[in-house]
Amino acid sequence: MDDCDNATCPEDELTLPRSSVNKMIKEVLPHLRVANNSRELILNCCTEFIMLLSSHSNEICEKKNKKTILPEHVIEALRELGFGDYVPEVNDVLSNFKSEISSRKRSNKKLDKLGISEEELLRQQQELFAQARQQHYESELAQHNAALAAAAAANSGVGEIPAATLSGVQSSAEQTAGAGVDDDDDYDT
């Protein structure tokens, strides 16, 4: 192994994945065996080409006082480096990429995938909130009644709990259940 660290030998980490290059070779030459040293040479050439193209694209970008390399910069770099024959194919790939991205953005909306209108979803949400409030109210009422029954059982010899106390507990439970009711839409859609 060489006596260099990552700072002095950046080429070691700046390569394409071997598996990706092998797949491309297999797609282009399905019935031909390619020697390992030839695969390594292709890998190194691909890496060098990408580095050359990206650095030249960066220079063009800097000349135009831009901070982001755009596809136009890469296409111009291809022309300047003598690879102008590839520009039509690059433009085709770019247009396919743009159309794929825009279709992903359109079809990626969860509402579109559900097939339900936004109004219907809001109505269903309000129903679920109402059901949750009702269940909470019933749970609170059951807890209060159980507490009263336990207190009544504990005090069975002392006397009974007045009916006014029971109705006061029920009305406070009803107020608790109704306190969360808010007919205003607090959520932005």
Write the DSSP assignment of the chain as a string of letters. Answer: --S--TTT-GGGTS---HHHHHHHHHHHSTT----HHHHHHHHHHHHHHHHHHHHHHHHHHHHTT-SS--HHHHHHHHHHTT-GGGHHHHHHHHHHHHHHHHHHHHHT-HHHHHT--HHHHHHHHHHHHHHHHHHHHHHHHHHHHHHHHHHHHHTTTT-PPPHHHHHHHHHHHHHHHHHT---S--S--
Cα separation, 133 vs 177, in Å, equals: 6
Question: What angle (nearest 5°) sits at the alpha carbon of residue 151, between those of residues 162 and 168?
Answer: 40
Distances (CA, A) of 139 to 129, 132, 142, 148, 163: 15, 10, 5, 14, 21
Q: How far is CA 15 from the centre of its chain?
A: 28
Per-residue pLDDT of the chain (189 residues; tens, 9 = 90+): 444 444 445 555 788 899 999 999 999 999 999 999 999 999 999 999 999 999 999 999 999 999 999 999 999 999 999 999 999 999 999 999 998 888 776 665 666 667 777 788 889 999 999 999 999 999 999 999 999 888 888 887 555 555 555 555 555 545 555 555 555 555 554
| pTM (whole model) above 0.85 | no
